[in-house]
Structures are given as structure tokens and as C-alpha cells.
Structure 1
Amino acid sequence: MRFEAAIYRELLPDRNAVNPDLYCRQLQKELLEFFCFTTMRDHSWITTISEKLPELWQTPKDVLQGERLVNISLCHVAARQADNDNKMSFLWKLYNEKTELLERRSGASCSQVFSLDPKVIYTHKITVQLTMASSDMEDAEYYTEIIEKSSKIDKVYWLASVGDSFSSGQGNPDIPVTRGKAAKWLDETCYRSSKSFPYQVFRKMTNKSSALSFFACSGATVDAGILSKNGQLDRLEKVMKLRDDPPDVLLLTIGGNDIGFTDIISMMQQGSSLEQSFDMRFFYVSHQIDRVATKIQELKIPRVILITYYDVTKNEHGVVDASCGLFGQVSLSNLQQAEKKILRRLNQLLIKKAKKYGWITVDTTEMFRRNGLCSNHGSLIRSRNESLTLQGNEYGSFHPNEEAHRKISEMVLKVLENV
């Protein structure tokens, strides 16, 4: 929900006195959620009043606390007329998109604060009637002016994120370990980070008023985290019931933990051969994805964006490379087998499932093709030492770094621009 900076721009006595768009953008950087329009010498704004991070809808309670206060001001007009020794009164009317009168107020105050329901937000029209009386005459002359402005207050664009450590932002704490103090996260249990691509997508949606249900959790599998009781989709459904509406977009990463990425990496580091067949694992993962798809269909979520998994294996030449020592005891042959038999095959399965269920795919293959762990041209993968330094443990190893999440967020935003 936002009013454009230009709402009353034509009423400014001095149009060159301030750049309203620049001013608003600066305020938006400094506050969690800050929407403004310009008056003469001061600035009125639209903000939210609730607990920390009101834009995160993790529970039904979060939605209920999302009261939106709209502050509309014509004090610049009052100030201008005060110089002429005029007395003013105001009649404020708030309409919805059907031109139905929602609220009517009157009085001498040159600004009003309206409370809007975040669940049902329309295009609103503000009508202000100014009645001015000259006080320097025995018989006061009255002049009435109607100022009527329509402004689109967008329906809150609701994003949801479901998935594993890839989506949660594992490896990228909000605040790294400093002077013996533990790293800080949006959610420490799930290693959810504000540097993750779902959160970055949400924060970069400057043309929309948006909310994020950030349920992705490190270590999540379909059975333990996504479809389990009180799991990610269960929690999302509870918020949906209060909203009586599904999220506009669901960002999804799935399959990495179900295929057993962690176990496979551990096997490789111990020198075990990967010559075995993974057919049964992929049969199982395929079934698990189908189960998640069925649940998403039941929830009637209109748009799902599936992000394919990142490739840790390639150097700057696009060749599988284990020579940099960052893979521990993993042999080149095992790493080649892992890239071919597991990572490449899993992404092919994900793309196939996305096509089957009408999901949109964001394919990260090209992005990581020359930026794996051993790349000399800017690796996009966290090493073990980096993880220890940043978050005090090894859990962030072999995960995309902050720059990777930034790039993925840009890819997702481009998709959203076209849907």
C-alpha cells in the first residue's frame, strides 16, 4: 500500500524546493516500511504500526497486527492561506474504488490519519472540502474549494517462501560473528537470513506494497518440514485462512535434502565411491515432489516459482574441479560423478516437474557454470573456512554466498515483472 510521491506535487508552491521521489527513496532505505508524499516545507507519510518486522507474515497474528495508517496532509494550503488571515475548515471524505463513502470527518485540522484494513485494500479517493472565511471583513466572505485526488493504494502483494537451506539463506547470517558474539539471523533455528534471495526479492519490490511469509528452513525435507504437521505448508495454510486468500507467489526449493545431498558429500569426503545407482533415490524424490504439488494445488496458489539447485563443482572454465582443496578429501572422479549423476539429474527432474504442474522455473545453471567452489573468477559458494568465520560453524559450507543470493533475487524479480 503506498501513495505516490506526486499526489499533491502540483500544489507545491516551489516545485524546485525538494525532489519528492528522491526524498521518499531515502526514507524507504532508512525505515522498514515507509511510504510518503510531499507537502510544502514538511513531509507527511504512510507507515505501519506493529511489532518488529511487520511485513513478515509468519502467523495469523502477524496479519492482524498489520494495521496501515495513512496520513493525508493539506497543511501547506493552510499555511499559505494563514498568511492571508483566512480561517479554514476541512471536510474529509474517504471513498473506495466503487465510490462508496467509507469515512467522513470535519474540523479545523489540516491533516488526518485514516486506518486501512491490510486484508482488503482498494483504490481510494480522498475528497477534501476547504471552506475559507476572510476575517478582515464585517460580513465574512466564504469560499469553498473541493480538492479531489484519487490514488491507487495497491493490494498487498503477498510472497511466500517454502523450502530448505538454499531458500533460507544458510551461510549468510544477518550479522556475522563479531568479537565473540554469536551470529544473528532472522530466525536462528532455521538459519533464515535477510540476505537470502526470498527476502531480497521481497525488499526489492519497490513498486508494490508487499508482505513475506518466510517459512523456508535449513534441513527441511518433504516429510520433515514441508508437509509435516505444523510444517511449512501447514503454517502457510493457517495464514491463508485468515486472509481468505492465497499468496500471489510461492517461491520453492525442494529435493536437495530428500535426495540426500549432505549424506552424499559426507560419503565423498570419506572417499567412498559414487559408482552406485541412485535410481531409487530419484524415484523417491519424484514421488515427494508430486505430493508437494498436490498440496499446492489444494491450496490454490496461483503462481509457483521453482528455483533449480546451484552447482558447486565448476571452476572458471566451466570444468568440474576438485584441485583447490576446498572439497576436503573428495576425489575428482567422485565430484564428476556427483555433478553428473546427482546435481544435473536432480535439476532435470525439477524442470520436468515444473512443466508438468505449470510452475515457473528459475534455472541457475548458467549463473553457477563458472562460479563453483574452485573458481578463480569469483566463487558464488561458501567454503568451510568462510562458514566458520561468518557464523561460527560449518553448516554454511557448500551453500550459495550473499552475492549468489543477490543474483538469484534479480532473476526472480525479472520473472515477476513478466507475470
Structure 2
Amino acid sequence: MSAVSGLALIPLLFTAPAAAETADINYVALGDSYSSGLGTRDYDDSACKRGPAAYPELWAASNATASYDFVACAGATTDDVLANQISALEQGTDLVTITIGGNDVGFADVITTCRTGSNADCDEVGEEAENEVRDVLPGLLEETYTAITEAAPSAQVVVLGYPRLFEMGSCGFGSIGEPKRERLNQMADTLGDAIADHATAAGLTHVDVRDNFDGHGVCADDPWLNGTTVPLDESYHPNGAGHAEGYLPALTGALA
């Protein structure tokens, strides 16, 4: 073996342990419907609407993990995470992902009111929700983040946010009007900014997915979010592309 070819092998010798480390990851996926996969139309768990097209499933399938526990559940609030999901964490958990907060401020009810009510109705419920984000949500997030880090003290905790739901412009018959879409996007930003601030303050890894979904909201030519659908509970949630093209690359990038 020549000196040059011998030296060429040195980087390989030093990079090999990194591959071994990825195989040791113990991953737990917590959260609400944006983590469980509601909206993808393919579920293994009909109660929590957990499915194989959800971003935690996609990440776990493409990475060598020592263990993987998927406990995110549609409709979950911070109280549900504390009561029903935290128990999945252990001292040896290495990675935790979570989306949470939207149900605590009644965002689903806000969307329903904006879809069926007047612009004034939408403004009113939007203001109420934003007050909840400012006054109530911080304490709930702090309690939840603290419980996660205490239950899994060695884990990297990745808090993923929510996308803006809508694009502006023409949207077809029966769609939500543009003023309401703008108002709902403003509320999504208020919620997203609060989650970012509190996750960062807690020393966790925050992943903002709003830019990833930009141009792919409801009313886009290539939407990654469902509009009003049947069944109704899948409305305004990421579809399969939203998880594969929106959430998964954002998570992968944060862990790179």
C-alpha cells in the first residue's frame, strides 16, 4: 500500500463511529395531531389517528434506531402529554419530538368559527385565542417542557411548530374568504412565535416549519395541507406530502 492510499483511508477510520452512534438512538415521538399524522388518511391507530405517513414514522423508518415509541395522539393538549405520554420517556431516551399547544388555545374551534361565521366573528375568536397564547399558554408549555427534560434528561428535545394554513388569491367555490385566511395566518404566527420563544428559553431545539410550507398551504396549486374535507377532522392538517416534504426535512435538518 502506498503512503498516499494509506492516508486516504484515515478519514474513513475516523467517521465510522458516527454511523454506530445513530444506531443507538432511543426515540420517542410525543404530541398532537400534527405529529400523529391526522390528515394523511392512513392510520394504524383509529383513536389517536397515528399513521405510517406521519413524520415521526418516516424519520424512524429511515434511521437506525435502537428503540422507537410513537405515542402522539390527535386532540392532545399539554395536559394529555403530561398524563398519557410522558410515561413513554426513560432515562435512556436520546431523542424526543413534539408538536403541542394548538389545542390548548382552541385553534381548531377558531378555524371552525372562521369557516362558518362572519369576518367579525373570526376576528373576535382570533383575539380570544391570541390572548390565551399570551396569558395561558406560556405556563402550560413551561410545565410540559420541564416534565419532558426531567423524564429524559439526556435527550435532545425537538419542538416543532405549526405551519401557516393558507395561501392568498383564488381558492375555488366554498372556500374561506381571503380576509379570514389572513386572520388565521396571523393567529398561526402568534402561536408559532410563542412556541419558538418558550422552547428556546427552555434550552430545547425549536424547528419552525412555516418557511417549509410556504407556497403549499390550503389554496395552493400543490397543497401540503387539507382544506375542508370529509371526514371533517382531517381538515386543515398536513397531508402525506406535508409530512414527507414539510415536517420530515425540517426535523432531519435540525438533527444534522
TM over 0.5, shorter chain: yes
Q: In structure 1, the residue corresponding to 2:234 is in which secondary structure? A: coil
The AA in structure 2 aligned to 1:226 is V
**1:375 equivalent in alignment to 2:220:** yes
Q: 1:383 to 1:248 in 2, by over 3 A?
A: same
Distance 1:155 1:349, change over 3 A: same
Contact map agreement 1:326 1:373 (CA 8 A) in 2: no
The residue that corresponds to 2:253 in the other structure is 414
Alignment partner of 1:384: what SS?
Answer: coil
| 3-state SS of 2:123 partner | coil
Residue identity matched to 2:78: V
Question: Equivalent residue for 1:216?
Answer: 72
Distance 1:280 1:384 in 2: 26
Q: Tell me the equivalent position of 1:17.
A: none
When residues 404 and 253 of structure 1 are mapped into structure 2, their CA distance, relative to the original with a 3 A threshold, is same
Structure 1 or 2: more strand by fraction: 1
Contact kept, 8 Å, 1:202 with 1:211, in 2: the verdict is no
1:199 equivalent among 54, 57, 62: 57
Percent sequence identity over matched residues?
Answer: 23
Between the aligned partners of 1:400 and 1:258, the Cα distance in structure 2 is 19
Kindly state the Cα deviation for residue 213 of structure 1 after the two structures are TM-superposed: 0.9
The amino acid of 2:237's aligned partner reads H
Match of 2:9?
none
TM-score normalized with structure 1 length: 0.52
The aligned counterpart of 1:309 is: 162
Measured after TM superposition, the shift of residue 413 of structure 1 is 1.8
The C-alpha deviation readout for 1:322-362, integer Å capped at 9, x for no partner, is: 732464xx33222212211x100111111111210111122
How many residues are paired up? 231
Report deviation, 1:366: 1.2
Q: Is the 8 A contact 2:27 2:65 kept in 1?
A: no
In the alignment, structure 2 segments of 5+ residues that lack a partner are: 1-16
Which letter does structure 1 place at the counterpart of 2:75? G
Give the direction of change, closer, same or farther, for the CA distance of 1:370–1:301 in structure 2 (3 Å limit).
Answer: same
CA contact 1:199–1:212 (8 Å) conserved in 2? no
- Letter paired with 2:149: Q
Alpha-carbon spacing, 1:372–1:361, altered in 2? closer, same or farther (3 Å):
same
The structure in which a higher percent of residues are helix is: 2
State the AA in 1 paired with 2:241.
E
Find the residue that maps to 1:311 and give its secondary structure: coil
How far off is 1:198 after superposition? 0.5
What does the per-residue CA deviation read over 1:300-334, in whole Å, with 9 as the maximum and x for residues that have no partner? 143111111012111xxxxx34732464xx33222
Shift, 1:416, TM fit: 1.9
Q: Of the two, which has the highest radius of gyration?
A: 1
Distance 2:171 2:39 in 1: 23
TM-score by length of 2: 0.83
Q: Deviations over 1:272-309 (max 9, x none)?
A: 42333334311111111011012123211431111110
2:123 is matched with which residue: 267, 275, 278? 275
How has the CA–CA distance of structure 1 residues 324 and 356 changed in structure 2, closer, same or farther, with 3 Å as cutoff? Answer: same
CA change 1:153–1:247 in 2 (3 A) is closer
Q: Which residue of 2 aligns with 1:129?
A: none
Higher relative contact order (CA 8 A, sep 6+): 2
Distance verdict in 2 for CA 1:326–1:157, change over 3 Å: farther
Distance 2:174 2:237 in 1: 13
RMSD: 2.2
CA separation in 2, counterparts of 1:347 and 1:311? 9
Given candidates 40, 55, 64, the residue that maps to 1:172 is 40
Equivalent AA in structure 1 for residue 56 of structure 2? P
Secondary structure at the counterpart of residue 280 of structure 1: helix
SS in 2 for 1:159: strand
Secondary structure of the equivalent of 1:293?
helix
The 3 A distance-change label for structure 1 pair 214 and 412 is: same
Q: Which residue of 2 aligns with 1:395?
A: 233
> Distance between the aligned counterparts of 2:21 and 2:57, measured in 1?
22
Contact 1:202–1:210 (Cα < 8 Å) also in 2: no
Whether the 8 Å contact between 2:44 and 2:50 is mirrored in structure 1 is yes
For 1:169, give the aligned amino acid. Answer: G
Contact 2:142 2:202 in 1 (8 A): no
Does the 8 A contact of 2:145 with 2:199 survive in 1? no
**What is the one-letter code of the residue matched to 1:194?**
P
> In the TM superposition, what whole-angstrom CA distance separates every residue of 1:367-414 from its partner, at most 9, and x where no partner exists?
2211111012x11112334xx3xxxx2211111111111122122123
Secondary structure of 2:136's partner? Answer: helix
1:8-407 aligned within 5 A:
156-174=24-42, 185-205=43-63, 208-223=64-79, 225-228=80-83, 231-233=84-86, 235-237=87-89, 240=90, 245-272=91-118, 273-276=121-124, 277-278=127-128, 279-282=130-133, 283-299=135-151, 300-314=153-167, 320-321=168-169, 323-325=171-173, 327=175, 330-340=176-186, 342-376=187-221, 378-385=222-229, 388=230, 393-407=231-245
8 A contact 2:213–2:224 mirrored in 1: yes
In structure 1, runs of 5+ residues without a counterpart are 1-122, 124-151, 175-184, 315-319
